[in-house]
Structure 1
Amino acid sequence: MTSNFQLPRPLKRTQHLAGCRTVRVAILGQGAVGKTAITVRFITKRFIGEYDPTLETIYRHVSSVDGECVQFEILDTAGQEEDAMLIEEKIKWAEGFIIAYSVTDRCSFDEVLRLRFLINHVHSGLKRGHSDAPPPVLLVANKKDLQYDRMVTTEEGDGIAQALKCPFFEISARDSYEETAVVFNLLYREIATSGALSAFRRKVSSKLMDKIPRIPSTATTSLSTRSFSLSSVKDFLTD
């Protein structure tokens, strides 16, 4: 999908963050579709090919989008089968969603409909100010660089996105930082224009969300300047 959106720019660590607008994003999808690779690529501009697929993390990354200071809180879910109550709490936490699948895995593509239904179902029971619209969702097909292993066509992805009425991107986290950045940039704009940030600010406090490790925005410089493996993610955690 072509786009004219300006890429977000990382802010200097010394910049004052009091005026930053915080937006919560959850990346959903089956395991091994590249959710962590997409997230880390956006934060560090580097592609990381090996990581712990069972680890869930909330990344905090500060960027300038259209001249506005934005702090992304990105929930990178494990994508494993889990209790319905657990996934519901994660969906309640987020203001916008990326549903990711791999073009090399048809099962992950088949999961898209269920995840979109869960998002709509959970948020339909929440009070969202004066807005009854579902939260913004982007559909992202990853691993387009693996053409010889492709099992899902671009046309299939575009078709289901049109049926679900959400923007569609086919990207390669391995090959392009720009493609991942445009995804997050557009999702922020969708969230901002939906009114979710001003009309509905959820204060979610739960034992589940409190247990998920958080990497603060001040650690993003370290992430981009060292060899990074998610097995050593605790190196970046603060109390």
Structure 2
Amino acid sequence: MRLIQNMTTIAECTAPEYPVPNRAIKISVIGGSGVGKTALVVRFLTRRFIGDYERNAGNLYSREVQVDGEQVTIQVQDTPGAEMTDNGVNLPDHVTCSIQWADAVVLVYSVTDRRSFDLINQLHQLVVRTGAASMPPVILLANKADLVHLRRVDSQQGPVLAGTLGCSFYEVSASEDYSQVHGAFHRLCCQLAKQPAPASSSSHASPGATTEKRRSPLIPRPKSPNMQDLKRRFKQALSAKVRTVTSV
């Protein structure tokens, strides 16, 4: 798994080794602060749960997997937490860029935090506005289901909200059940894998670079006879230099 620290450098940093994967599936995870977004992403991609994380600055996680028999690169963009204020929603700039970049969006709230649940409807409206003509698939994920004694959102409110928003709903515990987390993300990946792949190389572009065409980061292994000849002559020159030094 590759961890990329800066959202603006995705195009330069996510190139895997050979062979070049068939396509990329890009998922943006958004929600309030402290709802467990990073824990969910890491749990899905690595099976591991880590209780404490540094404050999220907008990291990209990337991993090559098989989805319905197809080799794909799953790129999951973790985002800084949104906050409810007296003047509305305090939304980091990276969140909008991430939605524009993504093929799908995961909305996350914590069942122990009522404000994070109340925030979901406004975040969904942001996805609708940002997606414009091409609304990305959205799922609603309720985290920390294991903390029953701290629950502040009734178990029936999540499905009702998901029905209103027209998206799938999953209640999970990142700390206790990997299968729940994996199942939610895996179903979303399968849904995306069935859709036609993007026609241009922009599928690997960085969030925030939607108007500027970026060079594809996926560089295939050189197969040109000219390139091979150049490499052969370079080795010959290097060998000659070594012989000269040895003779001296």
What TM-score does the superposition give when structure 2 sets the normalisation length? Answer: 0.68
Aligned with residue 107 of structure 2, among 99, 109, 114: 99
5 Å-filtered alignment, 1:107-186, equals 107-124=115-132, 132=133, 134-186=135-187
CA contact (8 A) 2:79 2:94 kept: no
Q: Give, in whole Å, the separation in 1 of the partners of 2:98 and 2:59.
A: 12
- The alignment status of 1:55 with 2:57, answered yes or no, reads yes
Q: In 2 relative to 1, CA 35–62 (structure 1 residues): closer, same or farther, beyond 3 Å?
A: same
Q: Give, in whole Å, the separation in 1 of the partners of 2:207 and 2:135.
A: 23
Superposed displacement of residue 16, structure 1: 5.1
5 Å-filtered alignment, 1:176-215, equals 176-195=177-196, 197-198=197-198, 201-202=202-203, 204-205=205-206
Structure 2 unmatched runs, 5+ = 1-15, 84-89, 211-248
CA contact (8 A) 1:135 1:191 kept: no
Q: Give, in whole Å, the separation in 1 of the partners of 2:118 and 2:142.
A: 12
Q: Give, in whole Å, the separation in 2 of the partners of 1:20 and 1:65.
A: 11
Q: Give, in whole Å, the separation in 1 of the partners of 2:146 and 2:92.
A: 33
Structure 1 unmatched runs, 5+ = 1-13, 125-131, 210-239
Name the structure 1 match of 2:236: none
Q: Give, in whole Å, the separation in 1 of the partners of 2:22 and 2:175.
A: 29
CA contact (8 A) 1:101 1:112 kept: yes
CA contact (8 A) 1:17 1:69 kept: no
Q: Give, in whole Å, the separation in 1 of the partners of 2:166 and 2:207.
A: 31
Q: In 2 relative to 1, CA 208–143 (structure 1 residues): closer, same or farther, beyond 3 Å?
A: farther
- Of structures 1 and 2, the one with the larger relative CO (CA 8 A, separation 6+) is 1
Q: Give, in whole Å, the separation in 1 of the partners of 2:140 and 2:119.
A: 12
Name the structure 2 match of 1:88: 96
User: What's the Cα RMSD here?
Assistant: 2.5
Q: Deviation per CA, 1:142-194: give whole Å up to 9, x if none.
A: 00000010011121000000011100000000011111111111111232345
Superposed displacement of residue 203, structure 1: 6.1
CA contact (8 A) 1:173 1:180 kept: yes
Q: Give, in whole Å, the separation in 2 of the partners of 1:175 and 1:203.
A: 33
Choose 141-150 or 14-23, whichever is displaced more: 14-23
5 Å-filtered alignment, 1:20-59, equals 20-59=22-61
Superposed displacement of residue 133, structure 1: 5.0
Q: In 2 relative to 1, CA 85–19 (structure 1 residues): closer, same or farther, beyond 3 Å?
A: closer
CA contact (8 A) 2:68 2:190 kept: no
Q: In 2 relative to 1, CA 19–86 (structure 1 residues): closer, same or farther, beyond 3 Å?
A: closer
Name the structure 2 match of 1:69: 71
How much identity, in percent, do the aligned residues show?
Answer: 35
Indicate the structure (1 or 2) with the bigger Cα radius of gyration: 2
CA contact (8 A) 2:112 2:147 kept: yes
- Letter aligned with residue 102 of structure 2: A
| Aligned positions, number | 188
Choose 22-31 or 49-58, whichever is displaced more: 49-58
Choose 84-93 or 179-188, whichever is displaced more: 84-93
